[in-house]
A and B are shown apart, each in its own frame.
Chain A
Amino acid sequence: MIPEIGGAAAMVALALAVWGAVAAAVGTRTGRPALVLSAQHAALGVFVLVTACFALLTYAFLTFDFSLRYVAINTNLGTPFYYRITAVWGALEGSIILWAWMLSLYTLIVILRHRESAQELYPWVLTVMLAVMAFFLLVITVAAPPFERLAPVPADGRGLNPLLEDTGMITHPVALYLGFTGLTVPFAFALAALISGRVGDAWITMTRRWTIIAWYFLSLGLLIGGWWSYHVLGWGGYWAWDPVENAAFMPWLTATALLHSVMIQERRRMLKLWNLSLVILTFGLTLFGTFLTRSGVIASVHAFTQGSIGVFFLSFLALVLFTALGLLAWRWDALRAQGALDSILSRESAFLLNNVLLVAAAFTVFFGTVFPLLSEAVRGVKVSVGAPFFNQVNVPLFLALMFLMGVGPLIAWRRASLDSLRRNFVWPVALGALSAAPFFALGVRGAVALLAFVLTVFVAATISVDFVRATRARKRMGERVLPAMGGLLLRHNRRYGGFVVHLGILIVALGVTGSQAWSVQTETTLRRGEAVELAGYRVRFEGLSASEESNHFKVTGAFTVSNGRAVGVLQPAKKFYPQETSPIAGVDYRLGLREDVYLVLGDFAQDGSQATVKLQVNRLVSWIWIGGAVLTLGAMLAILPERKKPA
């Protein structure tokens, strides 16, 4: 029963989406609001139907309905309850349903929010969103149907990929997809602006909050992905420049650029063409990312691939790019820059530079990701482009961006006089330069790491300078310190939200620099009772134990860790799942503000007499997650509606 209802619901949803897209377009072109209203109802219908599909699929998972092929492949009788829910989006078909559901939810919210306020743009926004919706529903009904039956019905399923049995599985795809699908909204508005010819500032002002929200979820998804990689995948790192990681990173970079260049358009009415292009590029990269993940064209640890789905995504990507860029070319004349700038020393310049660097970084990541394909196409030789490349080429760009992060908020709009530059930057520059010596003394020898730390101090100082000065100004007007600070944050929440986000990024940068520059590791084989020492830690191998879990067989090592005083017993394990070809490493670690101790169990003797263990002492990694939390606070602050009460 379930497969039939689910399949039918998806097909009806597809029909409704197509109808709605067409109706909204025709309705606004021919001046028939009834059609636009009908499109709205269609969108609501789509939401209800997709929710039903999602619910049915979840129900099938929860009740071990192995008559559905998707359920049988991704779960088995031993899968714990909560992982049965997250398994719904654990593989291709379910992930598309999740995407479609979020898209339909966003469409609904757009309707509720904008049907009154955006008269000319709104119907076209609806058209675009429903058209994108229709594509994903097409994929669900034709290319990757989740409701396919399996005959004969197996007694037990294959099981979830063990790497996905983790809390990160609940949040990472959800956050990431909320980011990806959220970026559809600015794109829809951009196309609406181009189609309707209203390429002024209205569309971008309306989408500012959408962009921040989508950007925030994307950031969250990336950070959680890093956390997941760190504590599940067993290699002690949080970012591998895997093609699919890159696929999420590229739209994040361009979305960050957009968040900044929007401010130039708001103030100076310039960069219209650039902003439209950025939005189109960002959405295009989102689609490119989803194409990479699902087509198997570039090998990746994430890629879940299947049959013809790559062709669907590539075709849609082509359609979107041709349409959007064609519209852009059509409206070219209306988008020519009319404004002018006052001075090269200004915040506008800083933002422009920021954009160039961010887009350059996105291009670097893009080129490196597709280069293996290019190499094979041109000369038939396969090459790899991995972390060393991406790190080396991106680091200068990121360092420059960090510098700009300190300069941008303090430099004046329009024209920064030398006097104001001196006043704003003398302390931060001095502090930054002076901090080089202490860092060097602490053991930071690499030029890059040193520069990164110095820039961290510089940026932190600029944020403080601004905040302190503004608080002082309010104090002079009679407010006490704390209410003054609070008032600042709330009244100028956009500005200070941005500052807090910058602070969050800064802390993440601190964590990244520290972990890259200072982490150490070693690998050794220990007999029972033997110990290895690294960075002040002593790790002694106590023995192995075996246990039978609900869906796997686990061998756990016990290692006593101490660094002067006892830290505890770490228990990295190797988990043997019947459906997996090789064992999955289960790491154990102790996190700390200063450093993490991290153990991975390697080979071991069957009788438990010896084991190979990889020991890592990772420095400052926890600051990456702390930075993420700060970034969250900043984003929330920035999203708040502007308070317009008198100072």
Chain B
Amino acid sequence: MSARRGALGLALLLAAAATAAAQAPRAGEQQVHEVATQLRCVVCQNLSVADSPSEMAGQMRAIVRERLEAGQTPEQVVRYFVDRYGEWILLSPPRHGFTLLVWVVPAVAALAGLALAGLLLVRWTRRPSGAPAAGAGVDAAMRERIRREVEREP
């Protein structure tokens, strides 16, 4: 079956990928990367310090690395930057206070939308259908065939 063959091919592809994934970078670099992804590169727009190729970002990464190696926790390092640049340096707004809104409002909106859609669906399916019911002359077998035909149509 084409689906199965496709799945097998996909599995082979990913097997090759995963064996290479097994060799992770040094634990220190990983931590640096994690902290750096939380910070906004100050000379670029909207890139994280981890991603940005600019010189300043490189220097900031070096500072992060140094502080982590000196024994500071990731939270302390992030705090160091926030103390100097303000909340703005965090690439993702903190989840408390006013900025909690940005996290909550879209979720609430999505849920409200889903609730509204659900309500409408219920209301619309309760209404009598606009299409006339199948006439008495149509027997069950015919109806079944019609149904299958209708389902197959695009």
Contacts and interface: CB of A to CB of B under 8 A. Distances in A.
Interface in B5-25: 6-7, 10-11, 13-18, 20-25
Nearest to A586: B53
A413 B33 contact: no
- In this complex, the member of A356, A357, A379, A392 whose beta carbon has the largest number of chain B beta carbons within 10 angstroms is A356
A549 to B, nearest CB: 19
Given A341-B124, A393-B103, A535 B109 contact: no
B135 interface: no
A338 interface: yes
Given A242-B46, A356-B113, A414 B21 contact: no
Interface in A386-435: 386-389, 392-393, 397, 412-414, 416-417, 420, 427-428, 431, 435
Contact of A617 (B20, B29, B45): B20
Contacts, number: 231
Interface string A359-388: 110011001100100010011011111111
A468 B3 contact: yes
B21 A460 contact: no
A602 B87 CA distance: 28
Contacts of A299: 45-46
A243 B51 contact: no
B99 interface: yes
Contacts of B117: 352-353, 355-356
Contact of A383 (B51, B52, B88): B88
Interface in A332-369: 337-344, 349, 352-353, 355-357, 359-360, 363-364, 367-368
For chain A, which range describes its interface: under 10, 10 to 19, 20 to 34, or 35 or more residues?
A: 35 or more
B122 interface: yes
A600 interface: yes
A587 B53 CA distance: 10
Given A344-B125, A495-B154, A585-B53, A522 B26 contact: yes
B124 A339 contact: yes
For chain B, which range describes its interface: under 10, 10 to 19, 20 to 34, or 35 or more residues?
A: 35 or more
A341 B125 contact: yes
B44 A349 contact: no
B25 to A, nearest CB: 4
Contacts of A318: none
B74 interface: no
B88 A363 contact: no
Contact of A235 (B33, B53, B128): B53
B150 interface: yes
A123 interface: no
A464 interface: yes
The 5 A-B pairs at the shortest CB distance, nearest first, are namely: A495-B154, A386-B91, A340-B127, A388-B92, A360-B110
Interface of B: 1-4, 6-7, 10-11, 13-18, 20-26, 29, 33, 37-38, 40, 43-48, 51-55, 58, 61, 86-93, 98-99, 101-103, 105-107, 109-110, 113-114, 116-117, 120-122, 124-130, 147, 150-154
20 contacts: A242-B45, A340-B128, A344-B122, A352-B117, A353-B117, A364-B106, A367-B105, A381-B87, A387-B92, A392-B92, A442-B17, A443-B22, A461-B7, A468-B3, A518-B17, A520-B25, A534-B25, A582-B54, A600-B53, A614-B53
